[in-house]
Amino acid sequence: MILIWGFRARAKAVSMGEFFCTRCGVDRSYVLQQIRRWFTFFFIPLFPVGKPLGEQVKCSTCGTSFAREVLSTPTSATFSENLRGAVRFAAVSMLDAGDRSNEAARSAAIDAARGAGAESYDDTWLTNDLGALDFSQLGEYVTPLAQGLNLQGKETFIEQVARIGLADGPLSPSETLVLESLSATLGLSAAHLRGIVNSTTTPQLPSAGDGPPDEHRQN
Ligand SMILES: [Zn+2]
């Protein structure tokens, strides 16, 4: 009788959860698997041999396997939450650095927070934030975005905050400091920041449809 024996790698589920699958492009559930070598006899695995060979994170939807490090990337749900918190924190910090009571600046700050997903954000909430937030923590809120935001996202972020600072007139030294610290945290250069601020202050040229009515045209 011929005895057929051998070894085979088998994956065993050790935990499950939610992660951001880069193949699917959205949050998915995953299974974290441990891979071990098994002794097989007549193709039937009998017992594991030696130490675990490694671990893999497997997307439950597309089946792609990733290294464990993929779990350190925030899910899009977590990322949106981080972004919402950071925009609001930065908006309030900018308002605090300028004229807190300026109507236009307050409404720009409210717009920024709402635009980032805090839809019910209003003036009362803003007043609360002004009294409650510890502005020295701004960096901690913004740091996670440096990895997750693309260049355009970073520019939009800075632009929104700059708009708040510019609403009550030219940027004051303390408002400039807030912008400088934000863009440094996001990895943007000082020149890049100047470019963003300049494009925020330069009025957009009216498009053809926005031109003056005919009766005001000079011939
Ligand atoms: Zn997937």
Which band of pLDDT confidence, cut at 50, 70 and 90, is reported for residue 214? very low
For residue 182, what pLDDT is reported?
96
Residue 65 CA, ligand 1 centroid: distance in Å: 9
Q: Is pLDDT above 60 for 206?
A: no
Annotated domain spans of the chain: 5-68, 76-201
Residue 77 CA, ligand 1 centroid: distance in Å: 16
Residue 117 CA, ligand 1 centroid: distance in Å: 26
Q: Would the pTM of this model clear 0.75, i.e. be above it?
A: no
Work out the average pLDDT over 66-94: 92
Residue 203 CA, ligand 1 centroid: distance in Å: 44
138 CA to centre of own chain: 15
pLDDT digits (tens, 9 = 90+) for 93-133: 999 999 999 999 999 999 999 998 889 999 999 999 999 99
Residue 27 CA, ligand 1 centroid: distance in Å: 8
User: How would you class 73 by CB atoms within 10 Å of its CB: exposed for 0-12, middle for 13-18, buried for 19 or more?
Assistant: middle
Residue 64 CA, ligand 1 centroid: distance in Å: 6
Work out the average pLDDT over 18-46: 93
User: CA 67, 72, 76, 77 torsion: positive or negative?
Assistant: positive
For residue 203, what pLDDT is reported?
59
pLDDT digits (tens, 9 = 90+) for 152-195: 999 999 999 999 999 989 999 999 999 999 999 999 999 999 99
One of 1.20.58, 2.30.30, 1.20.120, 1.10.3680 is the CATH number of 76-201, namely 1.10.3680
Contacts of 71 (CB under 8 A, 6+ apart): 17, 19, 30, 32, 57
